Amino acid sequence: MDTLAHALWSYIIFHNYEFVWWAVLFGMLPDLLSWTVFMFFPKKNGFNWKKKPDLSLIPKWVFTLYGITHSIFFIGAAFFIVFLIYGFLPLFLLAWPIHVLIDIPTHKRDFLPTPFLWPFSDYKFPGISWANKYFMIANYSLIIFFLIYINL
């Protein structure tokens, strides 16, 4: 799913929570820490965002960051460390695994599948593309509906 939609769904899910903006941040963080970092390099490496990207032009480190930020194993390790340090898990952290759970069925197997079992497995779920126009219309229609509903 696109990063804006992750932010909006995080807001919808955590809107009654005191730290909603932290949830929104953690809902976007998996993409911000991989793809957004790479977006600062397009002019330097000739990458063109106006067409379907040639994956061979994307440096390996981007896929490594994508694997780390979308892996249930790394999420579990991060949660364990936070729990050891603070003795509890802040609710807003749940926006991170929710991001990954949403990504699994909304990424196609043949183009940027969600590496949720990385680095232990290369399994790729046969999802649909979040960029499919029908999915985008349905997704943003639901987002608009719920944003209106929670603000009534």
DSSP the chain: --HHHHHHHHHHHHTTSTTHHHHHHHHHHHHIIIIIHHHTSHHHHT--TTS---GGGS-HHHHHHHHHHT-HHHHHHHHHHHHHHHSS--GGGGHHHHHHHHHGGGS-TTSS---TTTTT---------TTSHHHHHHHHHHHHHHHHHHT-
Amino acid residing at 16: N
In the predicted structure, residue 45 carries a pLDDT above the cut 60: no
Cβ pair 59, 38 in contact under 8 A:
yes
Range of the domain at 131: 3-150
Helix (H, G, I), strand (E, B) or coil at 23: helix
- Position 40 confidence tier, pLDDT thresholds 50, 70, 90: confident
Q: How many domains does the chain have?
A: 1
Cis omega before residue 105 (within 30°)? no
Cβ pair 31, 107 in contact under 8 A:
no
Pick the closest to residue 77 from 118, 35, 29 (CA basis). 118
In the predicted structure, residue 43 carries a pLDDT above the cut 60: no
Q: What percent of the chain stands above pLDDT 70?
A: 91
Mean pLDDT lowest among 46-50, 57-61, 91-95, 130-134: 46-50
